[in-house]
């Protein structure tokens, strides 16, 4: 049974799922996943929900309900140890310059895990009891400086925001009529995304979920860190707010 370790961030882990699924296919067995918590991280001048680590215990516990639905995962372990495994998905940090498609980073370390990134990941979700039109997420990092979300005011009554309270306060200053939908874990976040007509996000973990599901999605492209590249059906990248408005106009 192949063993894989990953220390986060959460978005990086979500982007590693195609390679993880490929490892299970190669071995003909489901995977034991080790979530390596409290590994130090450097975020520069940006604030980050993880503080000074890549993934903490709370984040790992929020990921677990979503990951348990994957048919290629056998067991999930939360650990502070550098476990002996078959695939160390943290190795890309030593050899990669963080450019290009995030999901492909794992192929550089383990070429045998190269796979078709246009294929969706099935999280085995129970449909949400609520319906959503446009769902929006915007974190404090990876912004495009040309984006002014006041341009979406004509759509704000249709928008539901998912994210932290402080993130909601920032975006609601530009879009005062949008609703906030707090989620208890990332399974519920995936339910909300899967139940909407369109997901809009910056380069964040929430967009990573939409990307893996191949749900209708638009990413706000960060020009200084362009490593989130929609692949497969229903995916759009917006370099400017005008691009985003055109996508909304086209339905």
Task: Tell me which residue of 6, 132, 16 sits closest to 70, measured CA to CA.
Answer: 16
Whole-number Å distance between alpha carbons of 49 and 247: 30
- Say what the pLDDT of residue 52 is: 79
Give start-end residues of each CATH 3.40.50.2000 domain in the chain.
Answer: 134-250
End-to-end CA distance of the chain: 45
Q: Is it the case that residue 99 has pLDDT exceeding 90?
A: no
Q: Is it the case that residue 100 has pLDDT exceeding 90?
A: no
Q: Is it the case that residue 221 has pLDDT exceeding 90?
A: yes
Q: Is the domain defined by 134-250 classed in CATH 3.20.20.60?
A: no
- Average of per-residue pLDDT values in the chain: 94
pLDDT in tens, 124-156: 999 888 899 999 999 999 999 999 999 999 999
3-state secondary structure of 132: coil
Angle at 54 between CA 232 and CA 190, to 5 degrees: 40
Q: Is it the case that residue 213 has pLDDT exceeding 80?
A: yes
The secondary element (H helix, E strand) that includes residue 246 is helix 241-250
Sheet containing strand 87-88, edge to edge, reads 73-79, 31-36, 3-6, 87-88
Average pLDDT over residues 154-166: 97
Average pLDDT over residues 14-43: 94
Whole-number Å distance between alpha carbons of 208 and 194: 13
Residue with tokens 């940006």: 46
The fraction of the chain above a pLDDT of 90, given in percent, is 85
Task: Tell me which residue of 153, 217, 219, 163 sits closest to 186, measured CA to CA.
Answer: 163
- Say what the pLDDT of residue 40 is: 86
Of the candidate ranges 8-22, 60-74, 86-100, 181-195, the one whose mean pLDDT is the lowest: 86-100
């Amino acid at each position: 049974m192949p063993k894989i370790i990953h220390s986060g961030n959460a978005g990086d882990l979500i982007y590693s799922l195609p390679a993880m699924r490929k490892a299970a296919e190669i071995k003909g067995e489901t995977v034991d996943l080790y979530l390596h918590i409290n590994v130090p991280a450097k975020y520069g001048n940006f604030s980050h929900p993880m503080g000074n680590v890549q993934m903490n215990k709370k984040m790992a516990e929020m990921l677990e309900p979503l990951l348990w639905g994957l048919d290629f995962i056998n067991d999930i372990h939360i650990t502070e140890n550098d476990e002996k495994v078959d695939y160390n998905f943290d190795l890309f940090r030593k050899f990669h310059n963080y450019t290009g498609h995030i999901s492909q980073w794992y192929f550089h370390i383990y070429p045998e895990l190269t796979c078709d990134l246009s294929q969706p990941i099935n999280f085995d979700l129970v449909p949400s009891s609520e319906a959503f039109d446009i769902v929006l997420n915007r974190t404090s990092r990876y912004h495009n400086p040309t984006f002014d979300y006041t341009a979406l005011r004509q759509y704000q009554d249709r928008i539901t925001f998912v994210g932290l309270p402080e993130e909601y306060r920032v975006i609601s200053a530009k879009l005062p009529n949008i609703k906030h939908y707090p989620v208890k874990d990332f399974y519920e976040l995936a339910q909300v995304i899967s139940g909407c007509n369109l997901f809009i996000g910056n380069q964040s973990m929430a967009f990573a979920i939409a990307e893996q599901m191949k749900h209708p999605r638009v990413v706000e492209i960060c020009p200084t860190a362009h490593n989130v590249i929609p692949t497969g059906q229903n995916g759009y990248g917006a370099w400017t707010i005008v691009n985003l408005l055109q996508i909304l106009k086209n339905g």
